[in-house]
């Protein structure tokens, strides 16, 4: 699967073919179909392997649950940022091996945070959806909007559109266009993550009904 990840990094999802992958592996395309049914399954498995990099970067440790969740979330964001094609293929509910491990790690940390047992599922899945879903929205907007346009050009074009909005109708967007143009994706992700983890702490500290 490492060869598929490398080709996806180099050529993108559109550029990956079974013929190219077979050439990299010194085998025939037919042999690949013994392992995967189609290209969609291949890309999904490659994306799941990208998630697997997270567990090497953030090994299990007996630490504060919120600290562990923050480190895990940032490691997921960084992994998907390095392999932007993978972000949209990390789907919910989790089904593949590393996605399952990720959700289980999140849930285990939520349990250690002192969240009431009846809230474990809702809180763990909400955090999981934030980590993977927001990463998919942030890491490479140009990929989903226009594959031929880079991030800076895409953000500049969008910011120009915001600047042209009537400030009476769009008082926030018209005045914050410069922030869109110049913002750091990782900082944006962490800002939302910190809000989420503050809410986690409040949930854990609240008395049970």
Read off the CATH number of the domain in which 190 is found: 1.10.357.10
Compute the chain's Rg from CA coordinates.
Answer: 20
The pLDDT > 90 percentage for the chain reads 44
Position 147 scores a pLDDT of 54
The pLDDT confidence band at residue 25, using thresholds 50, 70 and 90, is low
Cα gap 17→42, rounded to integer Å: 10
The pTM assigned to this predicted structure is 0.84
Position 148 scores a pLDDT of 58
9 contacts 83 by C-beta, under 8 angstroms: yes
CA distances from 9 to 5, 23, 75, 165 (A): 6, 17, 18, 37
Tell me the range of 8-17, 18-27, 140-149, 192-201 where mean pLDDT is highest: 192-201
More confident of the two residues 31 and 130: 130
Longest dimension (CA), the chain: 62
Residue 35 lies in a domain: no
User: For 190-196, what is the mean pLDDT?
Assistant: 94
Position 76 scores a pLDDT of 94
Position 95 scores a pLDDT of 87
- pLDDT (tens digit per residue) in 195-205: 999 988 887 77
Cα gap 66→146, rounded to integer Å: 36
- pLDDT (tens digit per residue) in 68-77: 999 999 999 9
Length of the chain measured in residues: 209
- pLDDT over 60 (residue 90): yes
The pLDDT confidence band at residue 88, using thresholds 50, 70 and 90, is confident
Residue 7 lies in a domain: no
User: For 77-86, what is the mean pLDDT?
Assistant: 92
Name the residue range of residue 85's domain: 62-205
- pLDDT over 90 (residue 30): no
Residue 143 lies in a domain: yes
Cα gap 109→115, rounded to integer Å: 10
Position 12 scores a pLDDT of 83
Residue 139 lies in a domain: yes
CA distances from 18 to 30, 38, 50, 93 (A): 9, 9, 19, 28
Instruction: Indicate the number of domains in the chain.
Output: 1
Phi-psi region of 99 (alpha: psi -120 to 50; beta: other; left: phi over 0): alpha
Nearest Cα to Cα of residue 124 among 69, 75, 46, 170:
69
Residue 6 lies in a domain: no
Residues 6+ apart with CB under 8 A from 164: none
Position 162 scores a pLDDT of 93
Nearest Cα to Cα of residue 128 among 96, 92, 97:
92
Residue 102 lies in a domain: yes
Position 179 scores a pLDDT of 92
């Amino acid at each position: 699967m490492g060869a598929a990840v490398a080709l996806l990094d180099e050529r993108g999802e559109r550029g990956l073919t079974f013929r190219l992958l077979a050439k990299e592996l010194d085998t025939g395309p037919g042999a690949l179909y013994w392992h995967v049914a189609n290209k969609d399954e291949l890309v999904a498995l490659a994306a799941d392997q990208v998630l697997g990099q997270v567990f090497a970067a953030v090994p299990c440790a007996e630490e504060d649950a919120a600290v562990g969740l923050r480190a895990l979330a940032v490691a997921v964001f960084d992994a998907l940022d390095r392999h932007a094609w993978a972000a949209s293929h990390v789907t919910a509910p989790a089904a593949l091996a590393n996605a399952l491990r990720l959700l289980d790690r999140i849930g285990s940390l939520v349990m250690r945070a002192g969240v009431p047992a009846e809230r474990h599922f809702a809180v763990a899945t909400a955090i999981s959806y934030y980590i993977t879903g927001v990463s998919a929205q942030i890491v490479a907007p140009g990929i989903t909007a226009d594959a031929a346009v880079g991030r800076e050009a895409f953000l500049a074009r969008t910011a120009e559109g915001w600047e042209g909005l009537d400030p009476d109708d769009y008082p926030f967007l018209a005045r914050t266009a410069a922030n869109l143009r110049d913002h750091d994706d990782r900082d944006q992700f962490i800002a939302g993550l910190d809000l989420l983890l503050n809410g986690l702490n409040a949930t854990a500290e609240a008395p049970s009904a």
